[in-house]
Structure 1
Amino acid sequence: MTHSYSHLLPPAWKSQVKGWLDEDTPSFDYGGFVVGEAPRDAFLLGKGSRRAVLAGVPFVDEIFRLLDCTVEWHVTEGDEFEPVKHIATVRGKARFLLLGERVALNVLARCSGIATASKRIKDLAQSYGFRGIIAGTRKTTPGFRLVEKYGMLVGGIDPHRFDLSSMIMLKDNHIWSSGSITAAIARARQVGGFSLRLDVEVRDEVEADEAIAAGADIVMLDNIEGSELVSVARRLRERWTGEGRKFLLETSGGITESNLRERAIAEIDILSTSSVHQSVPHIDFSLKIQIPPG
């Protein structure tokens, strides 16, 4: 049974949507005064020049619900469409349609852009034979993380940790401040307990061995590439097999579609990249009010 990803959204998400509308019209709606309150239909069109994945449906629904409008979707969220495509029909009073127009289009464009990029890199990795996890990162826009992580899910990849409380990740600054990888892991375990996984960033094979010995659940081989990545990952697997240590290997740092093949290797469990949400092209949408005949 297929479930909507909207069921994951936290209780506070609707207040976020209201905040977007409040920000966009903080005082008088001059354009709304011009068009008035005649009932109208508006066509939501998916444009651009390439196939795209639709994502962001619950946010658009809530934007227009707050404005007493209804949305009839003609494309299912998560499906790909070819432009130009009639994505949905929005019905309501003219001024309310225009009040929600730009906020809805901006959210849909960003969320769909992330979903499209996520699906593309996942499909490309799988075409290279990669069977591990493709994940995003926490390099998201403050205040807009919920939408961006949602887009990753709709695009079919792992959103990685949602925030600092979701998983313990120890990076170079944590380790330097603690004195060593072993000390940093010990302190993290003291407060994180058994329920949180521990992901440790390492710069080389020696640091990876220390992290595994100290009990890291995930070892992130940061900015290790090419043949070195393959050889380091293989030696770690061979050396720790039978030692009773269970761990995942993650590769991260500068991964894009152009260099994906050399990083999407069988020895790696997790491939994390911000290329699916940072500087990703938006998908072009427009909302066109239909003039009734006569």
Structure 2
Amino acid sequence: MKKKPIIVLFLLTVFLSLSAPFLQTAHPGRKNIQITLQEKRISELSSAGLTISFISQITNLTEKDYSLVSYQYQVTIAGKEYFKQQVSLEQPIDIPAEKAVTINFPVKISYQYLNPWLVEGQKQASCQVSGEIFFWDEKKKTEKLSFSYLMDFPIFKLPELTFLPLAVKNLTLGGADFFFRFQVKNVNPYDLLIQKVALELRLGDRLIYNGDVAGDKMLEAGQSRIFTLPLILDFFEQGRELRDLLEQEAVPFSLRISFQADSAWGWLSFGVDRQGSVSKEFSR
């Protein structure tokens, strides 16, 4: 069965009382209701997708009450139709005379379904939401408003993670003193200001480190940065199994990293992991 794109658009309403009633009255030929885009923003940005919010104000310019009863819309990605829907509200949204309400149109996009709408290597795309909103007045006469909003959004790529050779200071019968090193490359066309890096490092299947990494963690667009983690193991306490693993020519490690970062597109939370064998370099 073909899966439908995971993209959700719904109305989230917050009522706002105006500081004062409108002073003017409606004139012939003038719209009774108007819609104004107040803000558009990206949130919940991750390697899986993001949410685009189009926050609008609907204003009742008359001295009679209206109710929002239904709406229809379509979403296009890069100019191609992606999703469309008609919605009738079981509970109409009241818009009192000479008042305004704020409506949020959030569009949740999942990257895994975007390929048919993108070209290979595309770094960002555009999302357009357009449609009509239908209202009833006190006599249930129908009026409608049209809207069309457009916003670009990034195609976020996970950083590339590479293991580097161990820098071993000491490896004896009783313990080991070494540096585990790895490289992270930001393959996105925008900077990542890393706020937090949390690591889980395993030697074989044994957890040997669980904590954060300190220091400068800025990743400019296309830049690579090497992280160094100093480690001391006590084989008498932690077991000879770790010593046997470290004595191998290729030492098996697995690393899971959780990142929290800021970017030009907003806050990011994502994780990367890797398993592999690492060579050793001895130093004093």
TM-score, with length taken from structure 2: 0.29
Higher relative contact order (CA 8 A, sep 6+): 1
Pick the structure with greater CA Rg: 2
Higher helix share: 1
TM-score, with length taken from structure 1: 0.28
